[in-house]
Amino acid sequence: MDFPEELKYSKEHVWVRVEGDSAVIGITDFAQEELGAISGVELPEEGDEVEQDDSVGSVEARKTVADIYAPFSGVVLSVNQEVLDTPTLLNDDPYDGGWLVEVALNDREELKGLMSADDYAEYVENRE
């Protein structure tokens, strides 16, 4: 499994790429592998407010629907329309083409609870 070093990770299997005063989020390689073939994605709309630890959408695969939990609070700046149109991008390219939303950071302190790639790899290994 791939966990890029430049990203931060949540225990809910969401990755975060900080870009200035905003951050892009998506689901991890581990999450997409556990879910299997992804057939649907539900995301918030641009301008929606999200609260840390609240559901900001869902991913549908086989016979399950998994919520996506916000790793921090903010306002949705953009939504990846391509992943809404082609949900399998999450399986094929979870870290680049499969990003989900970009959110303005309300409080950078909320990022302190996220894990490094090494910590996340250890977390995943201990869950299996």
* Domain ranges (residues) in the chain: 8-107
Q: Which fold has domain 8-107?
A: OB fold (Dihydrolipoamide Acetyltransferase, E2P) (2.40.50)
Record the pTM: 0.94
Question: What CA–CA distance (Å, rounded) separates 83 from 80?
Answer: 6
Which of 113, 86, 103 lies closest to 20 in space, CA to CA? 103
Do 69 and 55 touch, CB atoms closer than 8 A?
yes
Q: Mind listing the pLDDT tens digit for each residue in 37-94?
A: 999 999 999 999 999 999 999 999 988 999 999 999 999 999 999 999 999 999 999 9
